Amino acid sequence: MSITQKLQSLNLEPDAMVTLTYSEGTDVFVHNESEVETAMAETDVISTFADLIATPGLKASTPYGGDVLESLRSDGHLDDYARDGCFSDYLSEVISENFYDVEFIEHSTEKYDHKRGFCTLSAEVQVPVSNVISKSPYLGSWKISVKTSNGVLTLDA
């Protein structure tokens, strides 16, 4: 049973919000303060996030309520898109180049000692359940959470 079918079977209100979370980490050196850049290069969090938000018609918003694509558009980050390439690749490049400005991906670093550590990048978006069902984005590695009358239900794709 697919995630879309599972969400349909829950009979949720169409405006119920589905929280999608994806995180991945890698070992890093912390002494040269390049841990985030290393994690950006060695994980696929940014490209996975870009693939999701590039899904045509998907209404992905930040946990704080702002529409992801609309935010990128209003800040001028989409102005140079020539509309002749892969949109998700373009988004991945824009988010990587403006990582600290757009603030869609959270980062945390656990330091083992003065030299080594582990950096985790995490992306979280919220999408109305009706939109997830109608657009059926690929959610292969995302953790899916939805509030039900019995509590929060978490599904692993």
Q: pTM of the predicted model, to two decimals?
A: 0.93
- Predicted confidence at residue 157, as pLDDT, reads 67
Helix 45-53 vs helix 35-42: angle between axes, to the nearest 10 degrees? 60
Residue with tokens 């373009």: 90
Spatial strand order in the sheet of 17-29:
105-111, 116-128, 17-29, 143-148, 151-156
The per-residue pLDDT string of the chain (157 residues; one tens digit each, 9 = 90 and over) reads 788 888 888 889 888 999 999 999 999 999 999 999 999 999 999 999 999 999 999 999 999 889 999 999 999 999 988 887 799 999 999 999 999 999 999 999 999 999 999 999 999 999 999 999 999 999 989 999 999 888 999 987 6
Supply φ then ψ for residue 6, to 5 degrees: -65, -45
